[in-house]
A and B are shown apart, each in its own frame.
Chain A
């Protein structure tokens, strides 16, 4: 008897002490998944922080859905950059009833997880995954805010052709490297260049002298590599040792500080592409850097993208007047908004329309932006 009275009292007190909008507010849960442990933990945390900033900013503006005040809550999970773990945490989030998901980072994690979200009708916006296959599965719940590898390969091919007509390519036979180079080859040929040599390696090799010698005999104007920095760095070193002064290009797998560190002086002049605009050139970049910096410190790469992923999801819910995926999914597809990263709209597959790709060049030991291909700047 007394306990019942106590509960009533406590509840009464609680409703008294809280602001009216908070007591009545319904909470809507949004999942956020990224690798929060392991070698990519700093990138995963970047994703979490970006999404958190978006959710907190929107919550502070007392949002309403269908006239009801609502508050958004971020449920964060760690997929350890592992495909198996990704499916486990995806299922967990679905079971917990999230209305949308920001994530994952790696294509290898996003792709298997996207099936689980699709089967349960939960919209997913990836801030980072670039594999073409991710949005190619025919799911209506799968979206991303990064230019995909096809857009990146296209940009690399166009830029390579401007450096010279005779292009040679090397890929590391991974899904990423091979996919990227296939697009580069198409793009080079479409822009009037010619692929005069194609060689292959693996993602564990360190000796490339044989394939480089063979490529050198084709008298190339530019070498394009599809793979990661542990291969790109020794490759460019060996090119210089073999007396090849040809420009060296690659995708985002080698556009890293690690590449410059590992390649040493040979890195000078190398060109690497990366999806998206550089932070300082994003329309909302300066403001975002300031707001993010006050709470979390330095932006790694993905925070603006995960911020906008959360905004895109929430704005679709607000426009639809419902947090039910079935109701707001059509609105998500129709998204037209100016995010931190620039104008956001999706094509029929859920890819970012005109996703920009920025080319960087190593100058005095730093990646410096050279040019942005695609995106609103191209129009």
Chain B
């Protein structure tokens, strides 16, 4: 029992990180129908910036209670600037080009960002300064740490804030309108370019938060950490129904739990025939099944083909 509960907790923490990153994919896709493959790299930039700033501040003797918010602020600023710059330079000129062009551009941007990070920070791993004393709590035979609780709470608050923004504000309404039909929204007086830029700003800020959380949880940051993370988060977004915000949440949490249970039990279930290095087949098997029966994802709505 405690093993199952522990695996569920592991999965939920991993899943909330996936969900936070998946939101970035889903928001951009919802509005532009563009798979922004560079989003994983924005998360990486967030992690690298927050680790560097935090290390510099704590080395200079700044108290943690001040250094942590400052590091987050620095990460948000750098990620937002990067995100907006990427949109302005790489995606906007191609907005009316055939759909494959921006997709390839996104992959290119991702490689460029990775290499820039490698030049700037070097190839070595950065370590997250041990500013948070890890406390472990016992819950019904499973353990939860204060860092895990922090991750879960921050992720939940951020996602709640995003839902409020999209559903309750003027900007959110403009975003939803642009997502439904960009041209008509433009004709109704919505400044489409500004809405799209705002989407990238919000998505990049989320990426910065995710980057900081991931670096603090695993203790390390590296210039190519964004690639696999981006791939997983993208899968989570597709699983939940890409373009749909609650779908990204559901997909992320689900993927985390499936991975965790898969890795934990695959060895015992197959009698040692398949080891835990096959954990990903569970996640992707379920992804394939879902897409076979519900091509638009769990919560996605069928989009009528536009003529």
Contacts and interface: CB of A to CB of B under 8 A. Distances in A.
B77 interface: no
A230 B220 contact: yes
Contacts of B172: none
A202 B10 contact: no
A261 B55 CA distance: 12
A209 B228 CA distance: 17
A80 B121 CA distance: 20
B3 A241 contact: no
A243 B222 contact: no
Contact of A200 (B124, B147, B275): B275
Nearest to B143: A243
30 contacts: A39-B124, A173-B277, A198-B272, A199-B267, A199-B276, A201-B276, A206-B218, A207-B14, A209-B10, A209-B14, A209-B260, A210-B10, A210-B11, A210-B279, A213-B3, A213-B10, A214-B3, A214-B7, A214-B267, A216-B6, A217-B3, A230-B220, A230-B222, A233-B125, A233-B219, A234-B219, A242-B143, A258-B124, A263-B219, A264-B219
B125 A201 contact: no
A211 interface: yes
B181 interface: no
Contacts, number: 95
Contact of A39 (B13, B123, B276, B279): B123
A206 B220 contact: yes
B14 to A, nearest CB: 6
Given A201-B277, A243-B138, 17 more contacts: A200-B275, A201-B276, A204-B228, A207-B14, A210-B259, A210-B262, A210-B264, A213-B7, A213-B264, A217-B2, A233-B220, A234-B220, A240-B134, A240-B136, A241-B134, A241-B143, A243-B143
Contacts of B136: 240-243
Contacts of A264: 127, 130, 219
Contact of A214 (B147, B218, B265, B272): B265
A262 B264 contact: no
B202 interface: no
Contacts of B124: 39, 258
A241 B145 contact: yes
Contacts of A216: 3, 6
Chain A interface size, under 10 / 10 to 19 / 20 to 34 / 35 or more: 20 to 34
B235 interface: no
B225 interface: yes
Interface string A192-227: 000000111110101101110110110000000000
B205 interface: no
A200 B264 CA distance: 11
B213 interface: no
A100 B276 CA distance: 45
A349 interface: no
Contact of A210 (B220, B268, B276): B276
Interface of A: 39, 173, 198-202, 204, 206-207, 209-211, 213-214, 216-217, 229-230, 233-234, 237, 240-243, 258, 261-265
Nearest to A217: B3
Contacts of B125: 229-230, 233, 258, 262
Contacts of A240: 134, 136
A234 B143 contact: no
Nearest to B135: A241
A309 B130 CA distance: 42
A200 to B, nearest CB: 4
A199 B3 CA distance: 16
B69 to A, nearest CB: 21
A204 to B, nearest CB: 6
Interface of B: 2-3, 6-7, 10-11, 13-14, 123-125, 127, 130, 134, 136, 138, 143, 145, 147-148, 218-220, 222, 225, 228, 259-265, 267-268, 272, 275-277, 279
Contacts of A213: 3, 6-7, 10, 264
A214 B277 contact: no
A237 B275 contact: no
A200 B136 CA distance: 25
Contacts of A243: 136, 138, 143
The 4 tightest CB contacts between A and B, nearest first, are A210-B263, A200-B277, A209-B10, A264-B130
B91 to A, nearest CB: 28
Contacts of B134: 240-241
Contacts of A261: 127
Q: Of residues B10, B147, B222, which shows the largest number of chain A Cβ atoms within 10 Å of its Cβ?
A: B10
Nearest to B144: A241
Contacts of B143: 241-243
Q: Of residues A39, A213, A233, which shows the largest number of chain B Cβ atoms within 10 Å of its Cβ?
A: A213
Given A264-B127, A264-B130, A206 B260 contact: no
A234 B264 contact: no
Contacts of B7: 210, 213-214
Contacts of B11: 210
A202 B272 CA distance: 17
B123 A265 contact: no
B183 to A, nearest CB: 43
Contacts of A199: 267, 275-276
Contacts of A209: 10, 13-14, 260
Contacts of B145: 241
B263 A214 contact: yes
B267 A207 contact: no
A262 B51 CA distance: 12
A262 B127 contact: yes
A173 B130 CA distance: 30
Nearest to B17: A207
B265 A237 contact: no
A216 B138 CA distance: 15
Nearest to B2: A217
B193 to A, nearest CB: 37
